[in-house]
Structure 1
Amino acid sequence: MALQNSGNTVFLTEQEANRIRITVQNRSKKCSDLQGTTRESRDFKTAKSQATGASLMADMGGAREDTLPALAVGQPYLPCTSSLEDLEPMALADLKLETHHRGRRMTVKRTCPVVVLAGTSWTMVQDDASETERLEIVLHKTRFGQDVLESAKQFVIKEPYFTVTDQDEPTIRIDHPSDLVVSMEDLTKSGLNLNFEVNGNADDSAAAEAMAKKCKEKGNKALKSQELQLAHAHYSEGLKIARQEIVVKSNPDLGRDISRNRAHVNLLLQQFDEAKADAEAALIGNQDTRSKELDSKAYFRAASAAYNLANYQDAKGYIGKQLELSPEDKEAKAWLRRIESRLREQDTGKYALKKTRATLSKARPRADAASFFTNTEVKDSPGRGRGLFATRDISAGQIVMVEKAFCVVWGFESEALTAMTYDVRDDQIRASAVGLAKATVQKLLNNPSQTEGVMDLYGDYEGLGKKALTINEGVMVDSFQVYDIISRNAFGPGNQYGEEGARNASTGLWIWAAYINHSCVPNAKKEYVGDLMVLRATKPIAEGEEIFHSYNESSDYEARQDAFKTTWGFECECALCVVEGAEDAAVRKKRREFVRHAEEFVAKEPWANAKKLSISRAQRLKRSIQDTYDGEKYKNLPLVGIQRIEEWLALANRRQ
């Protein structure tokens, strides 16, 4: 599908749209016809040759730069919510097509190269009976920047979903990251018995302590070489043993030491929930010099984790504890000043936005700032679900709220990915920010404490609900639920750091701002400072009044309504849309033509040092558009068609 040179807009020909639609519909019919069919055995040599050839082709070519991956959405299923020990083993020979094998698990080994594509990764795997099958991860195929299938040789698949691809190829499909468990032993290559337990005698206690120390040493070595995931795995092995009661009795500091080290690794992996818990578990509490030094380090790591979770009051408490132990620590004092700046922003809404903007660049695109919500609250909005309301009178031009993005993916980052999605629920084809959905899932896997805030947002699929669910193998995130939430609540922070297109448009999720409802006659307008959204009142807002901003500022009535229906699932009935919708279609068409000429003029004619002739032409264009509006009907309504040419004239006249 070719991309047109029109900013972030994707144009599909009717043939391209139909091709996507028919491909998905054909697969759905094929799956329905095959449901419950017994799997056919594969020839290993043929399967290996297929995977090897496809991997080479992917390495040589990859995805074409002028195409977007196409994905089907709207056919969700829940991730497995059972622990491995509660699932019954099964073999590849037991698989049935188009079946979710609930209550079962399967252990497989990778036997072929991994085929890495834009939206998926796949390979061939075997079980103990030497049966061979295709294993595919859709979209959520990386963890800590590494392809999951390439990270290990052995996997456990929870409640395998056996289906077919768009090309009718049988495959075990993984949509939820938690449904594929990487073998810890395979990852660490340690050969240690992870179920090692001591029975209380001295020999077992000494052996367990030696084993935990060996894990710690291996973790330290991996950390030194910046193999962070490996270091985390080794430390986790060591902690499992060091926290057994008899080891704690013989060497209570061993578990604390490993926890302190893992806290550091977790900070680097951005697993801040676990980093904070590890730092707290590392605390000794003794008053000797060495204990104070170690506790000072632990408090600093806890403060860093709390800061990155935007828990600034907790961060201040941890740094305060560190300074009690190390009063002259310059780094701790600097961190305290930094934390106090965030608390002031959070409490007062006062920001040094110019200074913040000056610190941002492509190398550092995310602002170091807190969110400010004091002026607003979330309440029910009649006919609109929930909305954001003012808790006090707000003057025109005053800050309504400021929000640091929960997650943002910039267009120049490797995580940026746009896909064409066909939603079987409403027969709509959309350009979707699947890269942001991937990044959001990863962030929730890293920090389950933040799950409820994201999952409380509106989506079309309830999934696992709002609460984070954790089992022995870790946290579960319903990727379909996150996708629906992103589709309805994401924003584009604009082109702040270089050229962007449809393939790599910057997108982000601002949780508090997602509650703001739309109006084409808004009372607030947003701007961005990096990933910081600043919302200002465009007119006085009274206490208790609902806050609105515009989701789409197009002057084209038909284009706006189509965008509202396609992207957000509603039809706008604001005062402006009611008046525009009642106009003769010929009037709107005439206005569109004049607006198009005005936009072409603004794009070609720089306002700086504009000649009188250019200013006169701009004034004529403004009058032409203005004449298409009925003065009486549009009284007290914005004339959105003239806004861009008005802005140009204001800038040009200022230079005269």
Structure 2
Amino acid sequence: MSPTQSTIFLTAEETERIRNTFRSRLQRCKDLAGQSRFSGDSKASMRQVAAVSFIADITTAQRQDSIVAFAVGCPYPPCTLLLCDLQPIQLCDLRMDTHHRSRVLSVRRVAPVVKLVAFSWTVVQDSSGETERFEISLHKLRYGYDILESGSVFEIKEPYFTLSDEGHSTLRVDHPSDIIQSSSASEIPQEIEASSTKTTQMYKDEGNAALKNRDLPRAHANYTQGLHLVTTNGSAQEDFAYDLFRNRAHVNLALHRFDEAKTDALASLTGREDKKALDSKAYFRAGCAAHGMGEFHEARRYLQEQQRLAPYDKLAAASVKEMESRLREQATGAYNFKKIKAGLLNGRPRVDAAKFTSNVAIGESCGGRGLFAKRRMDPGEIIMVEKAFCAVWGNEAEALTAMTYDVRDDRIRVSPAGLCRAIVEKLQNNPSLVEKVMDLYSDYPGLGKQLIIRDAGPVIDTFQIHDIVARNAFATGPAYSGDHRGGDAENNNMHESTGLWITASYLNHSCVPNAKREILGDLMVLRATQPVNASEEITHSYDGSSDIEERSAALLKTWGFACSCALCIVEKAETPALRKKRQQLENEASAFVERNDVIGAKRVSIVKARRLARAIDDTYNEGYKDLPRSARQGIQDWLAEATSR
């Protein structure tokens, strides 16, 4: 685990304003809990949404740079029942700040959608004609479409009726699986209304047309409806089924739905001699899906089948060769880092590489789980290499850094909300990955790690994802060499670059770590900084500050523990005046390194650097004999390179 680097700075007044806003809302919710819903003015609601929608449209640019804030720490589980097992409820039956368990509310959107950075809202109407505000918080997109805008009829599972952050009564959805778009709305791109007049050919043609126009959700829906029609008409349309499965596999690849893409591709295999070219294409798509999931043995097997059916296809041969490279990386930990870094220079931060984790194992550590060495490793040796499960860079549209007020400890923190959103969408698209992520440590257990499928989709507890990201995400740094937008406040980018690495999340903290990480795009390389023995726990530093007060505050605020290692004990015994003097010298050394180029360093600069290093050394006493002296590290590194030249 490692901190993400904050790029938002708030004054004490702004911090207190955010805290008071959420405290006030939570108190009002508590006071109103259980009270009957008050029937509002439908026309007034429509006028409000129209006005707010207009203002929102003309202030889009301003909103993208505004500070988003929301409360956390009041989690509730998503519905785990099937839609058919829920009992209907009407708006008039709702009660304030209540989760209406075992109930379902059917509504139709009757107003434009107000699309804000962190949530969207509109006005909906039930079958009795009653209207109410309805919002989806944070996880509001599906395949690039706003969920509220992409449909008009919705089923809200176990509706939550509460107050919005602005104090308006509202229906609120936090878990994407709690809202289902009704197939009766023909304008919904994810669902295509069944028609008795349409043929399988028509669905296929309409799907192809949508694919050509890059309307992937609509293409997927047409192919799906065509396949449904094929199953009802029997084997007479077998060839249509092969074509539709193959085409839908292509769409699923584009949507990063790798689970379904692989299933569709394999379902499209005919095994017929006269269909070898099409089967070759199907194997290629199955291989791409397996590649996307990091299943390189499986990917190679499918691509070899493609090559067998199309022996003169150069792309097939190249794809097999690429998978063999991934498998070598996975087995040996030998990477072409020169090639990887060249790719970063060309602006490709998502590295095509396998993970190498055969040197490590997850085991029981003090107070939880940790990462342990399976063999001895020397300083500088690669311990593990891992590709991020999910990464979002600050310069990407998906990035969103928010302030969160946690009611559990009354603290305000920076949260990589965009990463949370991206992880939830990836899990929705690929349910087979759910248990790997949900097994990571979090303060909120949620639904546990078990995969739950309801109404043809996985049930994802978004509050559990938030806590997993808060405890396990890493800052990635710039997207590529020369790009300083990721997490660089000086470039006026308020969104930080963050990622989640599954295996690396098990690394525990030490102020005297035996490993250090380097991040190349979305690839993390962990190397030993001192000898590591077999069965020894591998640690790294969550916070690299050389000041004990800063480091202790960060560890307590972000991870909730106080460190009592040997380094912390020695530093706490020092006087504040001594620590202040060391900090001043470290700042002076940092400024020196920044001003003086190590290439062609003059003798007078080297002499000054040595003097600074000695002055920093003089602030350390005998208690530091076997402990790191991090304040001098920067100037020592500069000296080592300058004198070697």
Q: TM-score, normalised by structure 1?
A: 0.93
* 1:72-103 CA distance string (max 9 Å, x none): 00111111112221112222222111011111
Q: In structure 2, how many angstroms separate the alpha carbons of the residues matched to 1:356 and 1:584?
A: 46
Matches within 5 A, 1:248-259: 248-259=234-245
1:156 aligns with 2:155: yes
1:433 aligns with 2:416: yes
Task: Name 1:32's counterpart in structure 2.
Answer: 30
Contact 2:192 2:221 in 1 (8 A): no
Task: Name 1:83's counterpart in structure 2.
Answer: 82
Q: In structure 1, how many angstroms separate the alpha carbons of the residues matched to 2:250 and 2:588?
A: 58
Contact 2:151 2:188 in 1 (8 A): no
1:136 aligns with 2:119: no
* 1:502-521 CA distance string (max 9 Å, x none): 62211000000011111111
Task: Name 1:204's counterpart in structure 2.
Answer: none
Matches within 5 A, 1:61-460: 61-62=59-60, 63=62, 67-186=66-185, 194=194, 211-244=199-232, 247-286=233-272, 288-289=273-274, 291-361=275-345, 363-381=347-365, 383-460=366-443
1:169 aligned partner, one-letter code: H
1:565 aligns with 2:565: no
1:56 aligns with 2:54: yes
Q: In structure 2, how many angstroms separate the alpha carbons of the residues matched to 1:316 and 1:366?
A: 21
**Structure 2 unmatched runs, 5+:** none
Q: Secondary structure at the match of 1:242?
A: helix
Cα RMSD between the aligned structures? Answer: 2.0
1:216 aligned partner, one-letter code: K
Asked which structure has the greater RCO (Cα within 8 Å, sep 6+), the reply is 2
Q: In structure 1, how many angstroms separate the alpha carbons of the residues matched to 2:46 and 2:606?
A: 68
Distance 1:216 1:293, change over 3 A: same
Contact 1:151 1:187 in 2 (8 A): no
* 1:10-62 CA distance string (max 9 Å, x none): 33322222111111111111111111111122222211111111112112223
Q: In structure 2, how many angstroms separate the alpha carbons of the residues matched to 1:604 and 1:149?
A: 53
Matches within 5 A, 1:611-630: 611-630=602-621
* 1:325-351 CA distance string (max 9 Å, x none): 222222111110010100000001000
Q: Secondary structure at the match of 1:360?
A: helix
Aligned residues: 632
Task: Name 2:13's counterpart in structure 1.
Answer: 15
Q: In structure 2, how many angstroms separate the alpha carbons of the residues matched to 1:301 and 1:526?
A: 34
The offset of 1:9, in angstroms, is 4.5
Task: Name 1:201's counterpart in structure 2.
Answer: none
Task: Name 1:599's counterpart in structure 2.
Answer: 590
The offset of 1:229, in angstroms, is 0.6
Distance 1:641 1:488, change over 3 A: same
The offset of 1:406, in angstroms, is 0.3
Q: Secondary structure at the match of 1:596?
A: helix
Q: In structure 1, how many angstroms separate the alpha carbons of the residues matched to 2:118 and 2:411?
A: 20
Q: In structure 1, how many angstroms separate the alpha carbons of the residues matched to 2:118 and 2:400?
A: 9
Q: In structure 1, how many angstroms separate the alpha carbons of the residues matched to 2:22 and 2:599?
A: 51
Q: In structure 2, how many angstroms separate the alpha carbons of the residues matched to 1:275 and 1:254?
A: 17
Q: Secondary structure at the match of 2:549?
A: helix
The offset of 1:307, in angstroms, is 0.5
> Of residues 458, 462, 472 in structure 2, which corresponds to 1:475?
458
Q: Secondary structure at the match of 2:205?
A: helix
* 1:567-587 CA distance string (max 9 Å, x none): 112112222112112222322
Contact 1:248 1:255 in 2 (8 A): no
The offset of 1:107, in angstroms, is 1.8
Contact 1:83 1:473 in 2 (8 A): no
Q: In structure 2, how many angstroms separate the alpha carbons of the residues matched to 1:189 and 1:165?
A: 26
State the identity %. 51
Q: TM-score, normalised by structure 2?
A: 0.94
Distance 1:193 1:66, change over 3 A: closer
Contact 2:150 2:187 in 1 (8 A): no
2:577 aligned partner, one-letter code: A
* 1:595-632 CA distance string (max 9 Å, x none): 222223333343333444433333332222211110x2
The offset of 1:292, in angstroms, is 1.9
Q: In structure 1, how many angstroms separate the alpha carbons of the residues matched to 2:64 and 2:432?
A: 38
Matches within 5 A, 1:505-516: 505-516=496-507
Moved more, 424-433 or 499-508: 499-508
2:77 aligned partner, one-letter code: L
Distance 1:187 1:628, change over 3 A: farther
The offset of 1:188, in angstroms, is 5.1
Q: In structure 2, how many angstroms separate the alpha carbons of the residues matched to 1:248 and 1:585?
A: 82
Distance 1:97 1:236, change over 3 A: same
* 1:225-279 CA distance string (max 9 Å, x none): 11001111111222223224xx233322322221111111000000000000111
Contact 1:181 1:473 in 2 (8 A): no
Moved more, 551-560 or 65-74: 65-74
Q: Secondary structure at the match of 1:520?
A: coil
Q: Secondary structure at the match of 2:185?
A: helix
Distance 1:328 1:636, change over 3 A: same
Contact 1:8 1:501 in 2 (8 A): no
Q: Secondary structure at the match of 2:408?
A: coil
Moved more, 524-533 or 565-574: 565-574
Matches within 5 A, 1:529-544: 529-544=520-535
Contact 2:186 2:192 in 1 (8 A): no
> Of residues 621, 626, 634 in structure 2, which corresponds to 1:636?
626
Q: In structure 1, how many angstroms separate the alpha carbons of the residues matched to 2:595 and 2:185?
A: 60
2:634 aligned partner, one-letter code: R
Q: In structure 1, how many angstroms separate the alpha carbons of the residues matched to 2:28 and 2:12?
A: 24
